[in-house]
Amino acid sequence: MEIKVAKTAGFCYGVRRAVDKVYEALEQGKKIATLGALIHNRQVIEDLAAKGVYAYDTPEEIPEDCIIVIRAHGVGKDIYDRIGSRPYIDLTCPFVEKIHRIVREHYEKGYQIVIAGDKNHPEVKGINGWCDNSAEVIYGRNVKIDTKTAKKDVCIVAQTTINKEIFGEIVKNAKKTCNSPLIFDTICSATKDRQTEAAELAAESDCMLVIGGRESSNTRKLFEVSSAVCRETYHIETGEEIPRKRYNKLGITAGASTPGCIIEEVVKAMSEVVRNEESFEELLKQQEDSMILKNGQIVEGTVMEVRSNEVIVDLGIKYDGQLAADQLTDDPSLKPSDVVKVGDTIKVYVVGVNDGEGKVVLSRKKLVAMESWNKIKAAYEAGEILSGKIIKAVKGGVIALADGSQVFIPARQASERFIQDLSTLVGTTAEFKIIEIEERRKRVIGSIREVLAAARKEREDKFWAAAEVGKKYQGTVKSLTSFGAFVDIGGVDGLVHISELSWNKIKHPSEVVSVGDVLEVYIKDINEETKKISLGFKKFEDNPWEIAKNQLNVGDVIPVKIVRMMSFGAFAEIIPGVDGLIHISQIADRRIGKPEEVLTIGQEVNVKVTDLKWDEKKISLSIRALLQAPVEETVEEEEEEEPKEGEVLVYSTESNEE
């Protein structure tokens, strides 16, 4: 009996990711609970329950000391609202997340949402939750969209595991019924490939086994497409349910929630039906022996020796495999000993067999590239953000390594700003999105810039939602200009005008602050249209006039410095930013023609405070009051434009430039 297992059988990307993350959380000692069954597989659910992981129907039922796990099927917006501030792990499949975004965006634009899928399936319920559960859910070859719905602007999406032929019928009917419907084929590419391969395998088999949970939607779809071309098609969950009959050709596929161990269990059980009762392990051994002689096959071996330039692998046959260092990893900074050690079991790709020399040339890079290509495609289609190490700079950009694949990031996509020397990025880890895939050349193009731009927009949206006049921030000085300093206050830059940097008059912001300084600022004004923000920095308590107010009293004798002369008197600096006037009649104990006869700029003298008018920012000073035996003189009437004795001009040093 020939047994053939579909290449796409078993866990899909989203389910594998969810299961791996849950077991990873358990290994870290986290106490978790799932919102609904993690996957439609009884064996996995029972194993998780044995480890203390239970499924609950609502967030409210989950114990407070548990981290909530959102499964790959995803949930509606209301569930996130109900979870609130509780810790959770979101394992929603990237393909499903993409549908959520489409539904939310078009529902907000006024579209009537139509979901092609099973209305009772948790994935469909979650999708419906992003349009306030207002979607029309349909499924079937002859089902048509409701006439009331057809009159609206319609947006159609598909459950990721829906039968592609049935979705095609729904789309065909929608185009006849609706006026220019907007259609998104959101069937998971892995689902399409799985269904196509199942149909092809079933067509060439005498018997077809479809392995998976009874509640698994995608497994039921596989059964539908397989039974349509192979009369003897069985839907089973474990090896105990296999038909006790021998066939010439047996095809096996499995749903996205079926672990590899169950597939192996079924293959082993069917192999026992073979007349010579060869064990499953012996059957695999025979397959490996035959495969090793064929270029392009994938085999498993054990690391026997790790050298500086290559790794020797025991393949279980008479020839050892030779794995060159440059075929082990794409990261040139790693040595073979950094990647594998003696005793490790690794899968490798057979590049070539040389019977004459008795060696098998292997490559791990090719295998990793093949496996990672599907991951890259899935990330591209789902708009997922990847993380990878930048391994080298090349002409026009840099190369990043993600999931075993090299991603070319053009220079213009490497940052939001121009980078003169791209080699400065080598060795760093960056987040990026796949923006283009060249299938034929297996070329992948990514963008760091898009991720940074999206993150910046998210910060900006968050900022503008909470921004208001008077709100305080800790900001970082980003740049200086002649008219002020630009300060980053959380993803958004605001301007501190030069007049706001100091109570004293300054010529340039650099006299007060430098790039990188952290300032406590507040919003003075917001222009919603231009998105410009004016920031304040000066503190009331630092106002020199307030300082002077707390220090000076009428009658005080204080030292001052002469700073400028006028025809009617001299201005003296009391403290930086506060000047007082010594009237010409208060400079000497005799009549003088002008202040320069007695005083000079920069001269320091003692004066007496004779008058304080804080509201008008006027301070009157006198030298004469400190001189002995003043001589009375007749003072001629001052010209009308000059102040009389006892009168003081406004001499605030504040700038009026604002």
Rounded to whole angstroms, the Cα distance separating 42 from 298 reads 31
Looking up tokens 């490996």 gives 288
Q: What length does the chain have?
A: 658
CB neighbours (10 Å) of residue 261? Answer: 10
Looking up tokens 């050709």 gives 249
3-state secondary structure of 261: helix
3-state secondary structure 84-130: CCCCEEECCCHHHHHHHHHHHHHHHCCCEEEEECCCCCHHHHHHHHH
Asked if residue 86 lies in contact with residue 104, where contact means CB atoms within 8 angstroms, the answer is no
Please give the DSSP secondary-structure letter assigned to residue 329: -
Rounded to whole angstroms, the Cα distance separating 416 from 427 reads 19
Give the Cα-Cα-Cα angle 452, 379, 71 (nearest 5 degrees): 105
Please give the DSSP secondary-structure letter assigned to residue 636: P
In what helix (H) or strand (E) does residue 148 lie, and over which residues does it extend? helix 147-150
Provide the CA 43 distance to its chain's centre, in angstroms. Answer: 34
3-state secondary structure of 506: coil
For residue 62, give both structure tokens.
């989950």
Please give the DSSP secondary-structure letter assigned to residue 463: H
Q: Are strands 154-158 and 182-183 parallel, antiparallel or unpaired?
A: parallel
For residue 639, give both structure tokens.
């010209």
Rounded to whole angstroms, the Cα distance separating 67 from 378 reads 27
Helix extents (H) in 277-363: 280-291, 336-339
CB neighbours (10 Å) of residue 649? Answer: 14
Phi, psi dihedral angles at 182 (to 5 degrees): -95, 115
Phi, psi dihedral angles at 408 (to 5 degrees): -85, 125
Q: Is-catalytic flag, 439?
A: no
Enumerate the β-bridge partners of residue 479.
486
Catalytic residue among 123, 197, 237, 500: 123
Angle between helices 217-227 and 189-203 (to 10 degrees): 30
Q: How far is CA 340 from CA 308, 329, 368, in A?
A: 12, 10, 14
Looking up tokens 């004798």 gives 557
Angle between helices 94-108 and 13-27 (to 10 degrees): 110
Strand order in the sheet with 249-254: 2-5, 249-254, 207-211, 233-236
Question: Residue 374: CB partners within 8 Å, gap ≥ 6?
Answer: 13, 190
Looking up tokens 């979650």 gives 126
Asked if residue 81 lies in contact with residue 130, where contact means CB atoms within 8 angstroms, the answer is no
For residue 194, give both structure tokens.
């799985």
Question: Residue 129: CB partners within 8 Å, gap ≥ 6?
Answer: 75, 76, 77, 78, 79
Q: Which residues are catalytic?
A: 123
